[in-house]
Amino acid sequence: MIKCPYDKIAHHNIPENLPVNYQVLTALPMGVSSAAAADVSDPNSAQNPSIKYCDIHPSKKVKFYCKNDRSMFCSKCILKHTEMKHDVIQISPKIEEMKKMIEQMVVEVDNHDQSISVNEELYNKLEMKVRKKFNEEVDKLEKSFRRVMDQLEIQHQNLFQMMKEQIDKEIK
């Protein structure tokens, strides 16, 4: 049995099956250290580009993502989204790394697609060459066949003529 730290209601579930209590999350100290907060306010500071801060609360790191609004926000802004029954998920602090990995994967897929296009083009060229060579060979065979047939016809006529002459001689 687990009691909710906010409203003290007892739940008879394992922790993984409990719903997210956003009111408790907003009460948690999710802000940045004072040194980091000073860096945020200093426009000349070289802050870590992989850490995102809330647009409304610049001293707070983004911890949530609203699927409806497609926006990231901090723990102070969460009630605004949950009260409107928006679909809110917790985001990983490594979200930027994951985005970069996805972008790299997209580039790799694009390169692979280009490679496939090049290979497809080469295949089509090769296919055309093979078809052309095949047709040329078929033409050669047809010509050869015609020549042989013509020669056979000539021999047939010669034999027929010779036999006719032979028969004519024997008849006389």
For the stretch 65-113, pLDDT in tens is 888 888 888 888 888 887 888 888 888 766 667 778 888 999 999 999 8
Q: How many structural domains are present in the chain?
A: 2
Say whether both 21 and 8 belong to one domain.
yes
Which residue, of 72, 93, 114, is where some domain finishes?
93
Whether residues 112 and 75 fall in one domain? no
Mean local confidence (pLDDT), 111-117? 89
pLDDT of residue 27: 55
| Gap between the Cα atoms of 51 and 141, Å rounded | 74
Whether residue 83 sits in one domain with residue 17: yes
Question: Which among 12, 49, 8, 57 has a CA at the least distance from the CA of 31?
Answer: 57
- Find tokens 């998920």 and name the residue: 89
| pTM value > 0.75 | no
Boundary-marking domain end, from 59, 93, 127: 93
Check whether residue 159 and residue 86 sit in a common domain.
Answer: no
Written as six digits, the tokens of 154 are 């000539």
**Angstrom distance (rounded) from CA 13 to CA 167:** 116
- Whether residue 7 sits in one domain with residue 58: yes
pLDDT confidence of residue 76: 87
DSSP for 92-125 reads -TTHHHHHHHHHHHHHHHHHHHHHHHHHHHHHHH
Asked which of 44, 62, 93 is the last residue of a domain, the reply is: 93
Sequence-separated (6 or more) residues with CB below 8 Å from residue 92: 98
pLDDT at 46 over 60: no
Residue 125 belongs to what domain range? Answer: 94-172
